[in-house]
Structure 1
């Protein structure tokens, strides 16, 4: 076993998959010589060379388009969009080309692209380096969208994504890069199944659903609530599309109460989709309204005081757990 950070787990996954499959290659801005702005791709250029570790121009549309073309020719590209805030120029390639290729070719063509996308706030990045943009892609049929919350799943989801024949958007949270770590076995292959959520904490009073940085906060909030005799069940979604309804339904049937915690703005976020599904399919088993804890419907702030106000806190999550449990 070795203590491994979230960032190191991603780097290990890239090394292992590039060693395993010569068709896997990485591309993006500053990922080669510089090793990535966060050093996630450090060491790849030295080990695999510049034909498989490709520094690109500052053109997200080109990065996504070139990856799509390579994927149709038998390669398994892993492009990096340096910050999720800058993925929008690539949206046409992702939404209209990559996500639809399998369907518009009647299953004859696949597009196994895994797009790595650093996302999220609480890093002092301001409005152009802190956004949560997952809702755009969860609303795009044909994609798989993942957002690991732990070092183990950061590694396991990336390895599974690269091996998948479906295009995957892999959201890696910048705040977790060096703040989350755990013991990972050195000689065990870690593969996390796509499309499967994980019950990270058992409970009986309230179901708390989250992902990414907010999952870490939800776990701390659940421990705080336990000091008051409230046992919250915490689900780490891991995959946002497709939604693992089975795991969610099993938990909510047990607790009768549910809350979703997301960093993204409130309106039309991932939590809205989960709340709608529960209202449509589990309404008569709910003992209270589904609650959402979210960011605000504003651009992400830069000032540290405003950033801490914008992002859901452990105390806020704990308070809502207690409020729901008492209903």
Structure 2
């Protein structure tokens, strides 16, 4: 709908016949597919997940009708079949998704059926995790507002998903920033088998948010086409003209079971099932068209016959479509990174003044923000006067680039990561740097959105990747204790789809950060915070220094033993190597820098030369990243080993606060030295 200055009030009498016919046709096609979907599963053709929308017809038709393709942004949920159809997808496109064909617009068969999308129209691929896309919608709305476009971001969900904490974070953030986003709650009274009374004390869940200052709440009958149309027209007008969020609560009914894996006969009475069928929106709409003599019975029957032909044609075409190629599973795990051609090995020999690691990060951020005006950064406690984060890494950035590009986020880690994902969907030229949490230990609330970022590229069949660099102050040796001294890379590396880097020196920190920001796709940038101000991590940093992903750096060459390390442990390993050197041993120290992707070539070449390997890292030995390194060497270089691969790391405990406890837990130079000495004499 392009002209919303004078909203049109829709009623059965005031709506033109052409529009009524279009709506009836869409509703009939949608319902025919909705009813047909379970048959595909019975015939072993597909559609193994189907959440029927029957009972949501009015609101879904309306949302699709007010959506303007390639301008507005749409984030649907798994019950939004009619929304997708009303927004412009064809019956064939819906069926291609349902039976998971390679030509499915949403994911090429990689994602669950009933997850409809068309990214080229800004109808985004969305998650199965109910309600989490509300954060993405907020991020897209932030971009709409920043770039001054007259558009709206739509987010659809069921009422039970509003119980999720990240939904509150989305609503709260949209309210605080006054963003043009419309949250549509399709309330059918059930979350699978859980009745609404077990979700919230409010009969209408939208009323839980009446205290929000800038958010307007609109209630409508989601079963009624006209009430839903009028509500959505007004919601879009308000969101677009006032640049403020709207919550539309649409009262619906769920006529069938939650999905084809649910049986509502187990928890709904016969009287309740009869009640909801009585309020079937499609049947009501058809009765209105006849009662007010807008159509004859013959005219509607003619449309219904045409619909049958549409479904039959779409079905036949979809069945002929190709299936996904099993060899394609490795496609679109990660996009190609920035090539880092200026320093292809990520090393330099320049001389000059050494700078500290924190200065290298700060200066690199400023340089990249000057280079690309579409770069943004936000996080907690990072944009207050002269302060820039808890460690001042971002100091001075807001003063130079302004509060619209550098700003504080609520203390809500999921919100920080989720809105970065959403904002990056607006335009691929956008680059976002976030402090995922003030300390790595606090990142766990954001893991749900981290996982979203990790498989967006693969799940969308290469159509979208969040161009986001997540910075985390990591590790111990500061006397921080729980929530301030852990390092979490051992848990993160098991999740494919995110690059993970962990520098030890100022030049590598600058080079990797530059490459991460310039690259497409998500990067987890882990910063050893105890080295921020440490003289031993200070180096010369060339202007525009680049470090490619997957390139380790040999910090010390040797022939008797290979030490694989990164982060804080790099310096401890170098100290141990120097001591061993004085005793006549030759130790090679390899600073991995990049954990994902990993420089296997450099590792294996060194193993073949020294024949003995020690892995030294700060994380726990049990379950730590060293286990993967050990397995890699055992599988690919076993015949070159003269001793078992040995690991040094933290004890299998949390990191304690008292410095006595911390010293007992974290690895030190002596532990690395002793382990190396043992390997030498094996």
With the shorter chain as reference, the TM-score category is: over 0.9
1:2 aligns with 2:353: yes
Out of 41, 54, 68, the residue aligned to residue 407 of structure 2 is: 54
Q: Secondary structure at the match of 1:263?
A: strand
Aligned mates of 1:185, 1:277 — CA distance in 2? 32
Residue 506 of structure 2 contacts residue 541 of structure 2 at CA under 8 Å; is this kept in 1?
A: no
Alignment of 1:160-309 (within 5 A): 160-179=515-534, 180-185=536-541, 188-309=543-664
Q: Secondary structure at the match of 1:199?
A: strand
Residue 612 of structure 2 contacts residue 641 of structure 2 at CA under 8 Å; is this kept in 1?
A: yes
Out of 66, 80, 93, the residue aligned to residue 449 of structure 2 is: 93
- In the TM superposition, residue 181 of structure 1 has moved relative to its aligned partner by 4.2
Equivalent in the alignment of 1:132 = 487
Aligned mates of 1:302, 1:171 — CA distance in 2? 21
Out of 76, 86, 106, the residue aligned to residue 431 of structure 2 is: 76
1:317 aligns with 2:317: no
Out of 443, 465, 470, the residue aligned to residue 115 of structure 1 is: 470
1:64 aligns with 2:417: yes
- In the TM superposition, residue 183 of structure 1 has moved relative to its aligned partner by 4.0
Aligned mates of 1:183, 1:249 — CA distance in 2? 28
Equivalent in the alignment of 2:230 = none
Equivalent in the alignment of 1:29 = 380
- In the TM superposition, residue 319 of structure 1 has moved relative to its aligned partner by 1.5
Distance 1:185 1:132, change over 3 A: closer
Residue 505 of structure 2 contacts residue 539 of structure 2 at CA under 8 Å; is this kept in 1?
A: no
Residue 230 of structure 1 contacts residue 322 of structure 1 at CA under 8 Å; is this kept in 2?
A: no
Q: Secondary structure at the match of 2:650?
A: coil
Equivalent in the alignment of 2:180 = none
- In the TM superposition, residue 278 of structure 1 has moved relative to its aligned partner by 1.0
Structure with the larger RCO, 1 or 2 (CA within 8 Å, 6+ apart):
1
Equivalent in the alignment of 2:251 = none
Residue 77 of structure 1 contacts residue 114 of structure 1 at CA under 8 Å; is this kept in 2?
A: yes
Higher strand share: 1
Aligned mates of 2:624, 2:413 — CA distance in 1? 24
Residue 576 of structure 2 contacts residue 673 of structure 2 at CA under 8 Å; is this kept in 1?
A: yes
Out of 506, 512, 516, the residue aligned to residue 151 of structure 1 is: 506
Equivalent in the alignment of 1:11 = 362
**Number of residue pairs matched by the alignment:** 325
Further displaced range: 60-69 or 70-79? 70-79
Aligned mates of 1:209, 1:189 — CA distance in 2? 27
Show CA shifts across 1:15-56 (max 9, x none): 010000011111000111131110111000100000010101
- In the TM superposition, residue 5 of structure 1 has moved relative to its aligned partner by 0.4
Distance 1:65 1:185, change over 3 A: closer
Residue 377 of structure 2 contacts residue 405 of structure 2 at CA under 8 Å; is this kept in 1?
A: yes
Aligned mates of 1:20, 1:324 — CA distance in 2? 48
Residue 381 of structure 2 contacts residue 408 of structure 2 at CA under 8 Å; is this kept in 1?
A: yes
Compute the RMSD of aligned alpha carbons.
1.0
Aligned mates of 2:630, 2:622 — CA distance in 1? 12
Q: Secondary structure at the match of 1:26?
A: strand
Show CA shifts across 1:233-272 (max 9, x none): 0000000111211110000000000010111112121000
Q: Secondary structure at the match of 2:377?
A: strand
Consecutive unaligned residues of structure 2, counting only runs of 5 or more, are 1-351
Aligned mates of 1:185, 1:93 — CA distance in 2? 33
Q: Which runs of 4+ in 1 moved over 4 A?
A: none
- In the TM superposition, residue 281 of structure 1 has moved relative to its aligned partner by 1.3
Residue 253 of structure 1 contacts residue 285 of structure 1 at CA under 8 Å; is this kept in 2?
A: yes
Greater C-alpha Rg? 2
Aligned mates of 1:183, 1:98 — CA distance in 2? 33
Q: TM-score, normalised by structure 1?
A: 0.97
Distance 1:94 1:235, change over 3 A: same
